[in-house]
Chains A and B, each alone.
Chain A
Amino acid sequence: MAQTRNEYWSEIRSVYKDPKDYVLAGRGNAYVRIDAEAKVTGTAVYTDDVYLPETWYCKLVHSPYAHALIKSIDFTEAEKVPGVKGFLTGADFPEGHNLGNPEAFKELADKEPLCRRKVRMVGDEVAAVCATTEEAAEEAARLVKVEYEPLPVLLDPFDAMALDAEPIHYPADQPGTANNLSIFTVMKAGDPDKAFEEAYYTDKSYYKTQEMVHAAIEPHGAIAKYENGEYTIWSTTQGAYVSRYWVAWGLGVPESQVRLIKPMVGGGFGGKLDVFAHELCPCKFAERTGHPVKCILKRDEVFKCTRTRHPISFQIESAFSKDGKLLAKRCRHILDGGAYGGSGIAANTLSLICATFPYKVENIDMIARRPYTNHPASGAMRGYSACQVHFAHEIHMDEVANHLGIDPLELRHKNEITPYYTGPTGLEFTSCRFKECMDACAEAIDWKNRWRYPKGSGQAIGMSGSGFMSGTGFPVLVTPHYCSSTTIVRLNREGYAVVYTGANDIGQGCDTVMAMIVAEELGLNMDEVKVVQSDTTTTPWDAGSFGSRVTFLGGNACHHAVGDAKLKLLKHWAEEWGCKPTDIKMADHRVFLPGDAEKNISYNEACYGYEEKNFGRCVAGVGAYNHEGDKDVYVKNVGNYATAYSFSASAAKVTVDMETGAVTLDDFIFGHDCGRPLNIRAVEGQIEGSVLLGFGFTCYEECVYDKDGRHLNPSFRDYRFPTALDMPNITTKVCSEYDEEGPLGAKEAGEGSTAPVGSAIGNAINYATGLVIKELPITPERLWKALREHERTGKTEFGGEDLPEKFANMPPLPKRYNV
């Protein structure tokens, strides 16, 4: 396949614009978002804004128990509410059509559209109500009586792994053989045991991260209608095609009868990748009632019933030479998977992949386990596993540096990944400016004078580094379709072009990037490129917005599509003009042979001429892009994961109030290697947003549960994340080179940028306080307690105190991946 791809591409590439002629992607990027005006005037249409006459409303009935059997469901009282039109239970959906992610094993599709016999988390959906108004639906949902038989609740992932634990999904074959693992991953390379034996320095440390949520300001929701035997759904999704697959499967109908439209989406961050009951139930009700039916979640439902970021417990052992060369790493990651698999499955393998870079390490012995618990299901979240992993591993890096007496920046430089390095498990790095990212941050924060803030003085700077895949080649939610992106571009003789892209803009601005790529290649203005947004009927296949794949895969697909169209057009004119297609240029709305005033026509004339010659056929191009990886990566755990990798570094300056434990983030520098930035303000925007997420992760956010698994802070009042007053100034340093494989030379700037934030802040807090905090979040209360305890007892390390014993007493890995 590579061969055909290369031949086809090299012909297309021959008519691409020379990067030095870029107008939009070069010279200051003076173009604006194509959706900006709609968004500042309130006319942008999000799911809840889709208005269809005679719409009825759906509300879901949630379990108050974290683990229980459903004994009975009684609608008698609910039925009496005026305006109620119908009810659904699990029995209304075909049995066995579970939702999830059977990437490696079919059992991983583990979520029923509505629970039939058992609930596994507080908030699990057991029934749905339809009524003429939202208020009536809410009232009726409250009146549905469900009788439960409670089961033992498992909230600690280590308890859940015990062989005599209550099974959450799979009944044990025999007593004492329970297996609550949803997946486990083993990754080995080199000879780690030997390396550990021979090393000058070895250690073993423990770290722990918490459960947080995506908290997109737009709540999840959907509106569905049923006409001519077809379901049409507008949904807050990050991947229209993948959602469509699961909706059709859950309903038990062919994909051809489901149309999924992604309108504007108010942020996703990974939380809108999975498919949910609030998408399936309106479809069913629409079919039964003939009315459009809408279901928008309330904020507390978003907190309790959608997805979270995996809390991870880490045991990290490292081996270094005397002069600071990283020789080997042994690590054990325990990911609290919560009640279901879904988009959370890939987090397990990813947590190990992330631990193998951005530093060279040849000898590794890594195992990650993802047990089910009765917490809400953990899923994908921006910086997918990388945030947690780079928090633990980068705090660890500074600890090692301090033990070895080597400057932490120096230690990182000694081990940094360099261009075209191949990792021990087969990651093939290409362009890499990791060193430059670190140096830019160090210079901007004045690292070399860092001891102007003495240790324990309440002020300090901290640094960290990370890497991320630029465009994952692997699906997060597997469907029979592969993880590619496809785009169609049509050139119109009336002076514009239309791009039909499946790429899912959820706020990051990819629709604008697609328009820009097309405008750039065709020499059109931005407003002469019309974008048709992801809609399974009108736009071609795309696997979704995740794994930092949109710009890279979608952008490349779009570049190839416009290249394909351009090649056809230029071939035609080359024949007319007796020259080569590569001699012809397109710029400023004209198609011309440079230096020949006769051969200079408008874009409109060029398209018209082509059509005239081709019996009215319009100029159209199709482009696709995928990463030629191995689909079995989740089973084999070796191989290359992406076509390119981004790198980043962070530097944070903090002030800690040593009396109260309050942390102020004074300054933040972010160095990012994102290839050629396609729009500098878009890149900065992604980075600034990443710093907010990273600061929230480090110092603010945590979902808190009682012993029965009830979420105690499901509101923005009690689950705080940084406001405008809490955020510092942020300086972005783009340290990039053109990436050979990227669209117009770009790599990713969406997820990798979240990865080093937490550890830079964490390292700074550690220097400021003279302590080592190993558990997140570092709230004022926790820090205050640690500071006081340090005064009393001299203890310096805090967090994860329960982990050594828990890791030591883990049961052996099961023989097979799943029961």
Chain B
Amino acid sequence: MAKRVISFKLNGVDRDELVLDNMTMVDFLRKQMHLTGTKRGCEEGECGACTILLDGKAVTSCTMLAVEADGHEIVTIEGVRKDGVLHPIQKEFIDKWALQCGFCTPGMIMSAISLLNENPNPTEHEIRDGIAGNLCRCTGYVKIVEAIASAAKIMAKEVAK
């Protein structure tokens, strides 16, 4: 299988990486970059556990080839905490007990970031819609929705400051 070098930004750092043409993004991140925070739940685009940000927008990394990242910016869950400080969404997930097994959590958080990037003041329905592609078998989503709503408020206050 052919390989080629791609240039892209990963969690804020410019990188050149030699990748297999047919390697999915999730496998590239996990096996080649050892960034195992991005999870494999179904590998067919249905569960959202592998969600990452591509140029700020949530995408499922199992339905994307690593080579497609060439020239783009990728953020994974490992890149969300900045300078040791948790993102408000991460903080609210902790405080609201918005996770149990945690396997859906990285993908859920990436979708939530993407949602709040586009819509900083979502209604409950918009939050539910924003994470409808992320399956969670443990929580019933109640506390996840609560955590995202609360993070949105906190972030709005920060922006206002």
Residues of A within 8 A of B90 (CB): 40-41
Residues of B within 8 A of A215 (CB): 137
Chain B: CB-nearest residue to A716: B46
A216–B135 Cα distance when bound, in Å, is 10
B16-46: contact bitstring with A at CB < 8 Å (1 yes, 0 no)? Answer: 0000000000000010001111111111101
Q: Are B40 and A48 in contact (CB under 8 A)?
A: yes
Residues from 32 to 88 in A contacting B, C-beta threshold 8 Å: 32-33, 35-46, 48-49, 51
Residues of A within 8 A of B47 (CB): 217, 299, 716
A214–B138 Cα distance when bound, in Å, is 11
Residues of B within 8 A of A690 (CB): 140
**B8 at the binding interface (Cβ < 8 Å):** no
Residues of A within 8 A of B (CB): 32-33, 35-46, 48-49, 51, 214-219, 264-267, 269, 296, 298-299, 506-509, 679, 681-682, 684-685, 687-693, 715-717, 721, 723-725, 727, 729-730
A748–B68 Cα distance when bound, in Å, is 48
14 A-B pairs in the complex with CB atoms less than 8 angstroms apart: A32-B95, A36-B97, A36-B102, A40-B99, A41-B37, A42-B37, A299-B41, A507-B103, A682-B97, A688-B143, A715-B42, A715-B44, A724-B144, A725-B128
Q: Are A42 and B38 in contact (CB under 8 A)?
A: yes
Q: Are B129 and A267 in contact (CB under 8 A)?
A: no
Residues of B within 8 A of A37 (CB): 86, 94
Chain B: CB-nearest residue to A729: B142
**B119 at the binding interface (Cβ < 8 Å):** no
Chain A: CB-nearest residue to B130: A724
Q: Are A40 and B93 in contact (CB under 8 A)?
A: yes
Residues of A within 8 A of B77 (CB): 40-42
Q: Are A688 and B139 in contact (CB under 8 A)?
A: yes
Residues of B within 8 A of A716 (CB): 42, 44, 46-47, 135
Q: Are B109 and A51 in contact (CB under 8 A)?
A: no
Rounded to whole Å, the gap between the CB of B32 and the closest CB of chain A is: 12
Chain A: CB-nearest residue to B96: A681
Given A32-B94, A216-B137, A716-B135: A507 touches B76 (CB 8 Å cut-off): no
Q: Are A688 and B96 in contact (CB under 8 A)?
A: no
Residues of B within 8 A of A48 (CB): 30, 36, 39-40
Residues of B within 8 A of A43 (CB): 37, 78
Given A41-B77, A716-B46: A508 touches B100 (CB 8 Å cut-off): yes
A39–B144 Cα distance when bound, in Å, is 14
A49–B35 Cα distance when bound, in Å, is 9
Q: Are A724 and B94 in contact (CB under 8 A)?
A: no
Q: Are B46 and A36 in contact (CB under 8 A)?
A: no
Q: Which of A42, A219, A684 contacts B143 (CB 8 A)?
A: A684
Given A267-B138, A685-B143: A218 touches B94 (CB 8 Å cut-off): no
Q: Are B143 and A33 in contact (CB under 8 A)?
A: no
Residues of B within 8 A of A32 (CB): 94-95, 97
Q: Which of A44, A265, A692 contacts B137 (CB 8 A)?
A: A692
Rounded to whole Å, the gap between the CB of A31 and the closest CB of chain B is: 10
Rounded to whole Å, the gap between the CB of B29 and the closest CB of chain A is: 10
Most-contacted residue by chain A among B46, B86, B133, B140 (CB, 10 A): B140
Chain A: CB-nearest residue to B49: A217
**B105 at the binding interface (Cβ < 8 Å):** yes
Chain A: CB-nearest residue to B110: A42
Given A41-B81, A42-B36, A692-B141: A724 touches B101 (CB 8 Å cut-off): no
Residues of B within 8 A of A38 (CB): 102
Q: Are B140 and A688 in contact (CB under 8 A)?
A: yes
Q: Which of B80, B129, B143 contacts A681 (CB 8 A)?
A: B143
Residues from 47 to 79 in B contacting A, C-beta threshold 8 Å: 47, 49, 76-78
Residues of A within 8 A of B116 (CB): none
Q: Are B100 and A267 in contact (CB under 8 A)?
A: yes
Most-contacted residue by chain B among A35, A267, A684, A693 (CB, 10 A): A267
Given A44-B102, A217-B101, A715-B46: A269 touches B137 (CB 8 Å cut-off): yes
Rounded to whole Å, the gap between the CB of A45 and the closest CB of chain B is: 7
A721–B136 Cα distance when bound, in Å, is 9
Chain A: CB-nearest residue to B141: A724
Q: Are B34 and A41 in contact (CB under 8 A)?
A: no
Q: Are A730 and B42 in contact (CB under 8 A)?
A: no
Residues of B within 8 A of A507 (CB): 100-103, 138
Residues of B within 8 A of A218 (CB): 39, 41, 101, 103
Q: Which of B40, B78, B136 contacts A42 (CB 8 A)?
A: B78
Q: Are A724 and B78 in contact (CB under 8 A)?
A: no
Residues of B within 8 A of A682 (CB): 97
A94–B134 Cα distance when bound, in Å, is 43
